[in-house]
Structure 1
Amino acid sequence: MDPAASTSSREDGDTSESHHAQDDDFTLRAVLAGLLIGCLLAFTNLYLGLQSGWISIMSLQSSLLGFALFRVIPRQINLVGRRFVLMSSPFTPQENVLVQTTAAAVGVMPLSAGLVGVIPALKKLTWDKDGSGPIDLDFLQLLGWCFALAYFGVFFASPLREPMIVREKLTFPSGTATAQLIGVLHNKPLLTQRASTARGFRRRSHALDEAEAGEEDDERTALLSSQHRPASSDRDQNEAEASDRDNAGVDAISGSKGWKALAWAFSGSAGFTVLSYYIPVLYAMPLFDFLPPHNLAAMWGFWFTPSLNYIGQGIIMGLPTTVSMTAGALVGWAVLSPLAYYQGWAPGHPLDSETGSKGWILWISLAIMCSESIVGLAALVASNGLRDLKSWTARKYDRAGGRDQGDEDVDVDHEPAHRQTPTSWVVVGLVGSTVVAVVLIYVAFGAEGISPWATLLGIAMASLFAILGIRALGETDLNPVSGIGKISQLIFALVQPGNVVANLIAGGISEAGAMQAGDLMQDYKTGHLVGASPRSQFKGQLIGSTLGIVISSFAYKLYTDAYEIPGPQFPAPTAAVWLNLARLVNRGHLPDKVKLFMIVFGAVFAVSGLIKTLARTKALHDQGTVGNSTAGKIAKLVPSGIAFAVGMLNTPNFSLARLVGGLIAHWYYARNRHRVDAAKTPAALAGIGIIIVASGFVLGEGAASIVTLLLKQNGAQAWTCAGCRGGCGGGCS
């Protein structure tokens, strides 16, 4: 690391920032805040995952909530006559990074540990189809399983920070957006912006003689220090106006108006969720079957669920994704499902996943997921390989010509060694977590489930897949964990043929490694831009994962005690995908006539996935955002195969509410686009108001799900079942 770069990037900071340059950013208050937010995220993601198979990491929302939490904490509190100081110093951007890192580690555990996919799939095993009875882990076994999967992905990721973030400068769009938001919230420029300014001054100084270089140093010091002072009257008027706009943006987010909107959205969503438990028709409104006994539309899953949670998710997803999801629901449930039913290919009730068309169209959904994931991942690897080769050739040419562009092309790692994660931690942790994982998985499932050597092979494969997943996340903002899990299932059909249990476990191991590694690497990107200690983030990730093990296991057991999972109210759709693929690759067979549809839909979305991946990658590489370039427009217009498949997996009510959210977001952005462009609002602030409201919608229902869960366990019944046609929960399910 260039000492001059380190000095220049820090010399403009205030007292608190200088302190963080020397010491670790790790603070107890930030970790506690992250754990608190993370618990809410974990319950929300488990609830969403078991219902529809779609979860959100919500790093940006965690930063918002962390900032809001520290704004409402009083400076001092008086308890039993004693005064305790809670906020002896301001809440810093580096602490905000630690909050969102810790919160995301807790919140993502339901997916990382397979609690929304692999574990429910194990409960659906049958002796005649799988050679094993249902496997229902008790609480201690579930804790052991989660503990086995929680850490090795974290240790995979840590050594990849320097090559992928510092040297290659992968975009990680969500991580970058979170960093920009943190910078706006705290009114601090990102460190990489200051470092690039400093590098510009250093390059200019090489062209000057000693006297001129001295003057240049004075100019550099004056300009860098001015970044923390208000614009003076002799500055350019445009710069002053830009500063005023930034301050206005901070006021809009951190002022009482923004947090009142968050509070109202949270309360409204939570209240409606509890009310819909007692009046289930509010959550399953008939679309076409208004008069009893007509039930034709509900027979095919067509009712409307006005969940503010789903609407909030739709706002966050955006219109293109929600349109793809709704298109999948319509094709699956208005075309393919009736076709299979009336042709006799799936003669059972349409909503029956065993004999009905729900189970029949699941295979088509599986083909779409596999084809787009595998082809898209292969395209991404090939694209990056060609780009890396061109970059290497260009650097070799520049060196041959006597030019060295390394200082311009490589980002500066402004973190000194004592703020980095020690190599000894990574080595010991990787070896230790691998050994522990092999032992705990053997204890939980025995040799009949998966052999210890096969578990070790699965972890080794997970490390390779984690690298692919991280690169995909860095390039496209999508971590293809579902595709990675399915590739592992295909491989393990050869490693332990005929063993469905081993197949599911191996897929879960690979998914966990890719998920944990991608989560931490995205957090590292945020920390790199803000100037947070990687060591601090690493510790926050481990602490968050540890609490996530306990919270997620406890929450899952609460749900399985109160509801049938998979069942009518929590179908756990991804569990069916895992199990059906495991059965297919282990000498299974396909339902009647579905093979042709799988080939056609798989081929279509393999092509669309290839186009979408390449277009999105080019747009992000060229501009740092999908944007409105030609490649960006193509990436937006081509439908998402994964979203299409998820829409097909679920009954239409899950997708229709999300489409409403996508339409609201589109209307909001279109209405405010000219205003934002005219004001030159920073990218991190564009649309932040509606994101705050959407976050309140999502988290409100997640928090209320704890209340309805307790109501269910205590035998609370619906007040009335009037109007119910299908999808009704509470006592009417």
Structure 2
Amino acid sequence: MNAPPESLDSPAAVTPVLGTGPRLVTSPTPVVLPGEFTARSLVGGCIIGALLAITNVYMGLKTGWWESGSIIAAVLGFSGLSALGRRRGGGPTMLETNLTQTTASAVGAMPAVAGLLGSIPALTLMGLSVPSWGIVVWSITLGVLGVLAAYLLRSRLLDQEGLAFPTGVATAELITALHRTGRVERPGRAQVLLGSGLFTMAVTWMRDVQAWVPWVTAAPGKLAGLPASTFTLGIGWSPMLMAVGMMAGLQMSLSMVLGALVSWVGLAPGLARSGSVDAQLGYDGFAVWLTWPGVGLMVGAALVSLGMQARSLLGAAAKDLRSLGRSEEPSVGRWAVWAGLAACVLTLVLGRVVFGLPMLHTLLALVLVLPLCAVCARSAGQMDISPVSQMGQLTQLASGTAFPGPTGLNVAAGSVVAGAVAQTGVSLWSYKAGHLLKSSPARQLLSQLLGVLVGSLVSVPVYLLLVDTYGLGEALPVPSAHQFRIVASVSVQGLAGLPPEAARAAALGFFVGAALTLAARGRLARVLPSAVAMGLGMLLPAHYAMTIGLGAVLVALARRVRPDMVDAHMPALGAGAIAGESIMGLLIAGLVALELIQR
């Protein structure tokens, strides 16, 4: 998953980096073997990617996290192509499996690229509407920019410097292991994935339609003379949230629980007693105030983290930019440059037509796209973390400072960079896998461009259907949107108009987040809470964080008893639970829209 609130800190945080597979020898010269760019690899990648996109829209709106899906896409791609090959065409080659996961990852990243997990709902919460056709075309344009940026940076980062990109290495190792054994490496992985998904779909149906399973079991007792349920305290019966905790790990999940306790047990009762918040409004009322210290924590941590790496990342990014154009495949390199220029022109036009962005705002964002994509790409290569939200926030601050104006323009400008860098990180993980497997970068590029188109066409209708059915609020908290709103407000208006004492709370959160990040540089990193996860826990209803924490604790206990079983099946179990609830949630939304059922 990628840096919260985009993706559980990085795709590798959800997708385990395999350490036991066969090691691969890097070769700087790609060898195009037969059976790579096939119809079945592209179609299979689009289908698997569509499932990832649906999952990412649902999970992103719920928790702010999304999953790159490289490992799961490789497993599903190999299984599906092998089953198809038994009937006709023979089994897949390694390059076919890699192209399948490359396409699927590009499709699955599109909810983040389109801004559906942050900027678009932020604009909606600000009372601004964006036409659906505009979101689709906008997302395609930003996706193309991100894919092309990754392609242009690929030669230097992979061939010349050989950066690690651990998620890409893990994907290549898994694909190699699958094809050496001729079956899924972990026995029963596919069966566990399918069984988990079907069970989760049944539970979601019984919870949301039949009401046989409660959505939340509220905590007993009272706080500030009010029922604990007023402060969203309890345990939610959501397999997806428990799976997120299973995959995020104990430290990250318990950090979220700590943030929730600070918000909903420490701060919220005092706000209710003082009358600063109307407690009758529940989550929606408290969230207006609690968002400020939560975002303060995350921004403080993000800025310190980037500051500690700024010198090396920016210096290397400058070298990356100077090296562009020296492609080992000059014809594709020139074509990519021209396609990028066309996408920039289209972004200028769409910014004006769809968002009302003045040309100078969009030009500033476009000037920042490639440098910040280079910074993000290098971070993904060195630390396996793609800081998507931080890049968007830096653009917001630059836009708001250079061109003060309505906050909506600030949000739209930030979405340009955030969208492009989201696709860049995912694309480079795929390029790393392809580099190790001696795949053709040009063919991977074409499959990613197809994935951008398919992902946009899938993600936007799914988002609109879910928001229309469930609404933005406690059901879909969309924490990333609050970050966009607050950064835009501060960069344009300063601290004017904040709720009482919220500015002080935001400043305190900022310094706590910065201090925790600085202190976690050494041995304390394993014991100190994650400031980013704490901030996310403050933004979500408390029962979300409690459920995520419960999932992490259960896995930690199970690992003490049967570590081999947990390591073998937990990733598939968690992925199935996330996919199952997401797909059933979308199905229920569709049935509600067709008036076949009522919620």
Q: TM-score, normalised by structure 2?
A: 0.87
Q: What does the per-residue CA deviation read over 1:153-202, in whole Å, with 9 as the maximum and x for residues that have no partner?
A: 11111121122222322222222222222222222xxxxxxxxxxxxxxx
Residue 586 (structure 1) aligned with residue 492 (structure 2) = yes
What's the offset of the Cα at 1:512? 0.8
What's the offset of the Cα at 1:309? 1.3
8 Å contact from structure 1 (residues 157, 520) kept in 2: yes
Residue 713 (structure 1) aligned with residue 571 (structure 2) = no
Tell me the equivalent position of 2:534: 644
Tell me the equivalent position of 1:512: 419
Residue 525 (structure 1) aligned with residue 457 (structure 2) = no
SS in structure 1 at match of 2:424: helix
Tell me the equivalent position of 2:150: 157
SS in structure 1 at match of 2:185: helix
Tell me the equivalent position of 2:507: 599
Residue of structure 2 aligned with 1:36, choices 33, 41, 47: 47
Quote the Cα distance in structure 2 between the aligned partners of 1:74 and 1:464: 43
Residue of structure 2 aligned with 1:332, choices 263, 288, 302: 263
Structure-to-structure mapping, 1:206-285, within 5 angstroms: 253=185, 255=187, 257-280=188-211, 282-285=213-216
Quote the Cα distance in structure 2 between the aligned partners of 1:348 and 1:10: 59
Residue 366 (structure 1) aligned with residue 366 (structure 2) = no
Question: 2:490 is matched by which residue type in structure 1?
Answer: L
What's the offset of the Cα at 1:717? 5.1
Quote the Cα distance in structure 1 between the aligned partners of 2:426 and 2:334: 22
Residue 178 (structure 1) aligned with residue 171 (structure 2) = yes
8 Å contact from structure 1 (residues 284, 303) kept in 2: no
Tell me the equivalent position of 2:461: 554
Quote the Cα distance in structure 2 between the aligned partners of 1:387 and 1:312: 37
What's the offset of the Cα at 1:152? 0.8
8 Å contact from structure 1 (residues 253, 689) kept in 2: no
Quote the Cα distance in structure 1 between the aligned partners of 2:176 and 2:262: 43
What's the offset of the Cα at 1:706? 2.3
Residue 690 (structure 1) aligned with residue 579 (structure 2) = no
Q: What does the per-residue CA deviation read over 1:662-715, in whole Å, with 9 as the maximum and x for residues that have no partner?
A: 223323444455x69xxxxxxxxx924211111111111122122111222133
What's the offset of the Cα at 1:384? 5.5
8 Å contact from structure 1 (residues 283, 304) kept in 2: no
Q: What does the per-residue CA deviation read over 1:107-141, in whole Å, with 9 as the maximum and x for residues that have no partner?
A: 1111111112111121222xxxxxxxx32223322
Tell me the equivalent position of 2:407: 500
Quote the Cα distance in structure 1 between the aligned partners of 2:209 and 2:316: 57
Quote the Cα distance in structure 1 between the aligned partners of 2:486 and 2:466: 23
Change (3 A) 1:295 1:52: farther
Q: What does the per-residue CA deviation read over 1:31-70, in whole Å, with 9 as the maximum and x for residues that have no partner?
A: 1111001111111111112222222122111111112212
Residue 441 (structure 1) aligned with residue 355 (structure 2) = no
Structure-to-structure mapping, 1:9-408, within 5 angstroms: 21=32, 25-73=36-84, 75-76=86-87, 85=88, 88-125=89-126, 134-187=127-180, 253=185, 255=187, 257-280=188-211, 282-289=213-220, 296-349=227-280, 351-353=282-284, 356-382=285-311
What's the offset of the Cα at 1:453? 2.8
Residue 422 (structure 1) aligned with residue 358 (structure 2) = no
SS in structure 2 at match of 1:286: strand
8 Å contact from structure 1 (residues 266, 697) kept in 2: yes
Question: 2:405 is matched by which residue type in structure 1?
Answer: G
Tell me the equivalent position of 1:536: 443
Question: 1:340 is matched by which residue type in structure 2?
Answer: L
What's the offset of the Cα at 1:19? 11
What's the offset of the Cα at 1:290? 9.4
Tell me the equivalent position of 1:665: 555
Question: 2:178 is matched by which residue type in structure 1?
Answer: L
Change (3 A) 1:387 1:524: closer
Quote the Cα distance in structure 2 between the aligned partners of 1:352 and 1:579: 18
Q: Once superposed, what is the RMSD of the aligned Cα atoms?
A: 2.9
Unaligned runs of 5+ in 1: 1-7, 12-17, 77-84, 126-133, 188-246, 389-415, 616-629, 677-685, 719-730
SS in structure 2 at match of 1:644: helix
Quote the Cα distance in structure 2 between the aligned partners of 1:506 and 1:72: 45
Tell me the equivalent position of 1:476: 383
Question: 2:353 is matched by which residue type in structure 1?
Answer: V
Quote the Cα distance in structure 2 between the aligned partners of 1:483 and 1:24: 40
Q: What does the per-residue CA deviation read over 1:620-673, in whole Å, with 9 as the maximum and x for residues that have no partner?
A: xxxxxxxxxx5xxx4333322221111110011212222222223323444455
Quote the Cα distance in structure 1 between the aligned partners of 2:341 and 2:526: 42
Tell me the equivalent position of 1:573: 479
Quote the Cα distance in structure 2 between the aligned partners of 1:567 and 1:431: 39
8 Å contact from structure 1 (residues 369, 641) kept in 2: yes
What's the offset of the Cα at 1:481? 1.2
SS in structure 2 at match of 1:25: coil
8 Å contact from structure 2 (residues 62, 475) kept in 1: yes
Question: 1:170 is matched by which residue type in structure 2?
Answer: L
What's the offset of the Cα at 1:611? 4.4
Quote the Cα distance in structure 1 between the aligned partners of 2:367 and 2:64: 27
8 Å contact from structure 2 (residues 41, 81) kept in 1: no
Question: 2:554 is matched by which residue type in structure 1?
Answer: I
Change (3 A) 1:27 1:586: same
What's the offset of the Cα at 1:300? 0.3
Quote the Cα distance in structure 1 between the aligned partners of 2:436 and 2:340: 27
Quote the Cα distance in structure 2 between the aligned partners of 1:668 and 1:166: 42
Quote the Cα distance in structure 1 between the aligned partners of 2:289 and 2:353: 36
Q: What does the per-residue CA deviation read over 1:542-580, in whole Å, with 9 as the maximum and x for residues that have no partner?
A: 10011111111221222243343x234223232222123
Report sequence identity in percent: 27
> Which structure has the larger Rg over C-alpha atoms?
1
Question: 1:50 is matched by which residue type in structure 2?
Answer: L
SS in structure 2 at match of 1:304: strand
Change (3 A) 1:452 1:427: same
Quote the Cα distance in structure 1 between the aligned partners of 2:170 and 2:305: 24
Change (3 A) 1:635 1:62: farther
